[in-house]
Chains A and B, each alone.
Chain A
Amino acid sequence: MSALLSVEGLRVDYLTAGEPFTAVRDISFEIQPNEILGLAGESGCGKSTVAYALMRLHKPPALVRRGRILFEGRDVLSFSDKDLRAWRWSEVSMVFQSAMNSLSPVMTIFRQFYDMLRAHGPITKAEAQDRTAHMLEMVGIPADRMHSHPHQLSGGMRQRVALALALTLQPKLIIMDEPTTALDVVVQREILQEVLRLKDELGFSVLFITHDIALMAQISDRIGIMRAGEIVEIGTAAQIVTSPSHDYTRSLWEAMPILAKRPKGARHAV
């Protein structure tokens, strides 16, 4: 099986007044079709920089110094601006940590869908409305909320809207950068199960970035552990949970306060 995305020896520097700061040090990994790859690490380890660089959303002073990003064999780093605009969102999309910042506060939800749809092909307003309604219902939001502004929705609903926006053009890869960190655990669980359900239904890959490795272990197929710009360990979720081989992975596990024991018959397990 050929990889959907492969990253080879990617290095990202931030130019500073002094020496350039290397945020991502020659990392390589692959994402297979329909796979969820988790990328875990502390803040400042470079995981978000990887996410931005993959979509070529990184801006100066960040600079990709070395390496290749291949999406279905095509070299993303050599895309022209026009290619990029067409490629972004229709083939790879992104859900950010804070939906408060990724949604425009002055536009209704529908308006944001309409903008995005128009940018990717001719569409009438009525068609766009149907499409928006369908997407919102898919993530569990009543269709009439499309005429609301973001501030009229709760944090969980906004994150669902961001997810619906990312799914509308049926991309093959969705990058999720701490998508549920700002939400409480119950809402977090609901949204992640929604993501898994949609993945079964639509079929897409996910690059899931978080610092919560317990959460990551629950949904990822494979997990990469990052520290100081390097992937120190990458393996299946089961292996990272039960037999981490790198000391740093073990120290991450030890740093987590984990509930002593589960209530019997952990409901809704699998």
Chain B
Amino acid sequence: MLSETPILSLDNLSKTFTLRPAFGRATKVHALRNVSLDLMPGRALALVGESGSGKSTVGRMIVGHHTPTSGRILFEGQDIAELTTRADQMRYRQAVQMVFQDPFSALNPAHTIRHHLLRALSLHQPEADPETALRMILEDVELDPTSTPAKFPHELSGGQRQRVNFARALAVKARLIVADEPTSMLDVSIRKSILGLMQRLKDEHGLSLLYITHDIATAEYLAEDTAVMFRGQVVEKGPTAEVVGAPQHGYTKLLRAAVPDPELRLTGSDAGFAAEARQVRDLSAHPVRALQEVSPGHLIAEHAEAAHA
């Protein structure tokens, strides 16, 4: 287990965006600060955090939308910045696919589902018989293989469109899927079925998943490992059972406590939550000095200038 090479490693990754408005001074935004993560093959790693925590930036850097300001991204031990030949780059882009939050804008409205999938198939699996491959892929994502190919994206529901996006990743024989909030624009009633699909892709196809989400409950449902991000830093990471089940860092505890629990009635007289939220946010924004191992594989951040709550 420990001797296995991670399929993907982030090594001290930082990203600074410089905003240059038309007027006024340029400002720097530290979107990521020294993020290190390992994703093991055939497993799912959930990256949890609020909006603006930098979790999507991580996903976008992995698929090459952004280049790191510093630090390395290692795919099966090899630094992706060193993939200079076109063949190597193609191999990496084929192996790592992204599924976006918005299933509506990720598909071209002017083309049928057949076109979307055949294009991916002909580019990446030219040897396969396209019609058979198309059928198999649609069956894999639980879409009707006879009626779906002729449909246009607008004829499908959000959940079905998200399945097409996963099908496209399968069509190129991806080994790692970066799924950025794949369920958050879907109805609650179909959310679980998409999570179930990801689970099955992982178990049956041996796919590795980086599951980016703000919903800690779905992370628990899907992922073996979880990392919690806040203001561009990883504040806690480790096995999901421990990170979500028994969180140690103040921010994870806060996130955990805020998940709606139908059995817990909220009242207006409780100012404690807001006060604590403010305090925890202030403490957790400080630079992380070191990660402390609280149990095997379970690490929490120690913040400079302030001990965490």
Contact = CB atoms under 8 A, between A and B. Distances in A.
A259 interface: yes
A186 B255 contact: yes
A215 interface: yes
A42 B189 contact: yes
A266 to B, nearest CB: 6
Interface residues of B, number: 44
**Which interface residue of A190, A258, A268, A270 has the most chain B CB atoms within 10 A?**
A268
Interface string B12-39: 0000000000000000000000000000
A102 interface: no
Interface in A220-265: 237, 241, 251-252, 254-263
A193 B268 contact: yes
Contacts of B188: 42, 211-213, 252, 255-256
B286 interface: no
Given A186-B254, A255-B189, A261 B245 contact: yes
B304 interface: no
Contact of A255 (B192, B217, B267): B192
A109 to B, nearest CB: 21
Interface of B: 50-51, 187-192, 195, 214-218, 220-221, 244-247, 253-274, 276-277
Given A188-B258, A197-B271, 16 more contacts: A185-B214, A185-B259, A186-B255, A189-B258, A189-B266, A189-B277, A193-B266, A196-B267, A214-B260, A255-B189, A257-B221, A258-B217, A260-B245, A262-B261, A263-B257, A266-B264
Contact of B214 (A43, A184, A190, A214): A184
A192 interface: yes
**Which interface residue of B214, B247, B260 has the most chain A CB atoms within 10 A?**
B260
Per CB-CB distance, the 9 closest pairs between chain A and chain B, nearest first, are: A197-B268, A196-B268, A217-B262, A184-B50, A215-B260, A214-B260, A185-B258, A257-B221, A189-B258
A254 B193 CA distance: 11
**Which interface residue of A184, A261, A262 has the most chain B CB atoms within 10 A?**
A184
Contacts of A270: 264-267, 270
B159 to A, nearest CB: 11
A268 B270 contact: yes
Contacts of A258: 217, 261-262
Classify the interface of chain A: helix, strand, loop or mixed. Answer: helix
A267 interface: yes
A187 interface: yes
B260 A212 contact: yes
Contacts of B272: 267-268
Nearest to A266: B264
B191 A266 contact: no
A196 B266 contact: yes
Interface of A: 42-43, 140, 155, 183-190, 192-201, 211-215, 217-219, 237, 241, 251-252, 254-263, 266-270
Contacts, number: 140
Contacts of A262: 261, 264
A72 to B, nearest CB: 24
Given A252-B189, A268-B257, A200 B266 contact: no
14 contacts: A184-B50, A185-B215, A185-B216, A189-B258, A214-B262, A251-B189, A255-B188, A257-B191, A258-B217, A258-B262, A259-B217, A263-B247, A268-B272, A270-B264
Contacts of B192: 254-257
Contact of B269 (A197, A219, A256): A197
Contacts of A194: 268, 274
A263 B252 CA distance: 11
B45 to A, nearest CB: 17
Contacts of A267: 257, 272-273, 276
B268 A218 contact: no
Contacts of B214: 184-185
A45 B275 CA distance: 37
A270 B256 CA distance: 16
Contacts of A195: 268
A247 B190 CA distance: 16
B29 to A, nearest CB: 14
B53 to A, nearest CB: 9
